[in-house]
Amino acid sequence: MTDVVSVDCGEAPIENVALALELLKDVDVSAYSIPNHESKIFKDECMFCYTSPYHPGGLYICLKTFTAFCEHHMREMAERRGRNVFLQLKSKKTRDETEEPREKIKRLAIGIDEGFCNEKMEVEDEYYLVIFPRLATRIPINLLSSHPIGVACDRIATTTSAERLELLQGASNAWDGEMKQVTKHVNLKQIDNPPVLPMSGWKCDVETCDLSENLWLNLTDGAIRCGRSQIIGDGVRSRGNNHMKMYYEEKHFPLVVKLGTIEESGVADVYSYDEDDAVANPNLEKHLAHFGLKMKEMKKSEKSTVELELDMNQKWEWARCQEDGENLETVFGPLHTGIVNIGSSCYINSVIQALLSIPDYVNILGKNAPVIMNDIDPCEMNESIPGQMAKLFSSLANGNFSKPPPNNEYNGVKPTQFRKVVGKGHIEFSTCRQQDAEEYLRHLIDKISTHVPIAYGDANAALRFKQQVRLVDESSGHVRYTEKEEFVLALPIPKTSLIPVDQEALRFSVPLTHCISAAFSEESIEGFTSPITGETRGARSCISMATFPDYLMIQVQRFQMGDDYQVKKMDVDVIVEDVIDLTPFRGIGVQPGEQLLPQENTEVDEKIVCELTSMGFTRNAAVKAVLNTKGQDLGGATEWIMRMMDDPTLNDPLPSQMASMNNEEVSGEEVEQLVMFGFTPHQAKYALKKEKDVNAAAEWLFNNGHSVPEESIQPVIDTPKEYRDGSGKYELVSFISHMGSSPHSGHYVCHALRSNRWILFNDEKVAVSKNPPKQLAYLYLYKRV
């Protein structure tokens, strides 16, 4: 018998079938499995880091579990779990020009994960069987056709990976942007005997106006007037005398379209004056034809209002935040790793980079990653929240994916699975749409609190703080003190503190200190009924800091709910100080002589709950809105409900109520009846506790089965939370900026202080910042000094 040690063939693959079969003589049949159609095969990246088949050395797929590892983690797995048979996968991208040798499996690809490209590309996949620890002895799988292990290798090679199958199934969720509302004037009444308009050569109908650009057509009577002038650059304005707005004020004909923006496809800049918004008009072609205009023959010649505004914002806000035009020095190494945008994921990337400014997250989820991942079966890594967090934070912290040239080809990480498991079950974060960074920060903090065992450490302790709420009953003069947990200090933008930046008051600034003072100022609560006197004379309330955390996250509430329930962004410059002192806002508790009101068993703002229920929302929905928009006002809570209207669980009982429901017993016989329909016992019990009747429970499951929360396997242990406290003086160490007009579109970037230098994290781009745009930020992270 030939000793395996004597046949080490170096880097060159074995070419002899007999030699290959000789090497397999001592491989036990229990060391590998043959995958079937239900097997999940992971081969896109290492289970424990972001090494891909394109990296040097490729990946090693365990033939027992079908999970993939880089060489480093493969060696750990082999030594710890006794795995010794692996399929090595090495991939490279090539143009489709030549036919390759038969042992190379080829697959057509467009863009290869990076997205669409015009160039036809192919991926060459090379598969070799290796037996640990002799990794240099590689057996091409085409030599194994006569051995059972060859069947396993061939099926792994020809099966679509589990990661890619999930991406394909979720691809329909990819979307970024905002939909215009259809105008209420779809069936607009147009005048009889309308004028017949030419297809081009228009000018403003006002005799004293000679404008032939920025012209709007009134769809009621065919009048053509110029629009308003707009700033389109530094000191540059578009031409316009606002004659169409004046015409609307005179005639009250509401619907207009900007001539020059009309495309044959029906896309155009349509505005409704009485709806005060840009709108969609499905009958635009019909309305234009009324004046002899043939939409199918019209060509776009001007930018729309939105395009002009976006151009202006991009030239200012986008350019400032991304520091366009600056020759920025790229940086590499630990804590300087970029995160690839995997589809409107910049809000996730920015939040993660900001948290890396906090040692607790770096140490507990990053440096402690091997301990966390050792406790997780590799087959469960892709669905494990602690595992994906450890994988991401460690890969960002260790610098393995941030190498200087010439070794920078594989820089950056793609947290596809992290995004999936952290967002799973959430109506917004489970999609590929752009989201609000502050809301995601809270969501991520909650996931860490509920899924990362406290035995590894409490990463959130550095951000967690208590606020003290003092309420004064106007009727009796009695007071009530309550405390609530917070992770973000929300600051309103006081309109009384706005300072014009330019003479025309088109942009304003506000001192951050004024926003802080406004957050801690006293506010009136209408409709408060005194539990002492029974009179409804209102109350006064204010918040203060009960504890000062190590790191304080501040949100400047740039997004405001308008009267039309549309969220709009306040484009103001915040005058930021690098060092702030919140000591004057520390709560001092009950004072001598104060008489206390009885305590309420609630942590929600009843004022906002009452206002929401008066709008017609259920109390369950209202309370959830308040709890999920901590620190926000009625507008924020209303926006949250409006976004969640399609969630079938919106009006369900609160978690505390569900806990009492879970203690209720259900009929085992009824559970079995529902299980016979294909539901799990957990789903059956959940539905029966909601509906009581088995038929109603079955109907509910058929309609809402997907919304049943995951079954809790481990008992919830109520561990006392840590609230650190100290000085109220802080210095700025990171901030997240948003570019765009809505939290659900646009772009986020993060600036962070690393080794006394401001670093710009713009997705996968990481560079030294020359002019950090602190005045434009949405979230500010301060460190206690």
Relative to beta strand 134-140, strand 121-131 is antiparallel
370's enclosing H/E stretch is helix 369-374
Q: Which of 497, 488, 546, 537 is nearest to 517 (CA)?
A: 497
In angstroms, the CA 21 to CA 30 distance is 17
- Residues linked to residue 396 through DSSP beta bridges, in sequence order: none
Closest by CA position to 131, among listed 72, 65, 63, 191 = 63
Please name the residue that has the structure tokens 């994988």: 391
* DSSP character string of 542-590: EEEES---SEEEEEE--EEE-TTS-EEE--EEEE--SEEE-GGGB---P
Spatial distance between the Cα atoms of 684 and 668, rounded to a whole number of angstroms? 10
The 10 Å Cβ neighbour count of residue 120 is 11
User: Which is the catalytic residue, given 243, 336, 514, 747?
Assistant: 747
| 218-to-248, 273, 293 alpha-carbon distances in Å | 9, 11, 13
**Which one-letter amino acid corresponds to residue 750?**
C
Residue 234 contacts residue 275 (beta carbons within 8 Å): no
Q: Which residue, 561, 645, 565, is CA-closest to 181?
A: 565
Catalytic, 515? Answer no
Rounded to whole angstroms, the Cα distance separating 659 from 762 reads 42
Establish whether the linkage from the previous residue to 492 is cis, with ω within 30° of 0.
no
Q: Which residue has the tokens 């070794």?
A: 407
Q: Which residues contact 247 (CB under 8 A, 6 or more apart)?
A: 218, 223, 225, 253
Sign, Cα dihedral of 496, 497, 502, 506: negative
The residue annotated as part of the active site, out of 153, 204, 321, 346, is 346
Distance (Å, whole) CA 48 – CA 393: 11
Distance CA 279, CA 256 (A): 10
For tokens 């915040």, the residue is 574
For residue 782, the SS3 value is strand
On whether the CB atoms of residues 413 and 401 are closer than 8 A, the answer is yes
747 is catalytic: yes
* Number of residues in the chain: 785
Tokens representing residue 685 in the block: 């019990």
Q: Which residues are catalytic?
A: 346, 747
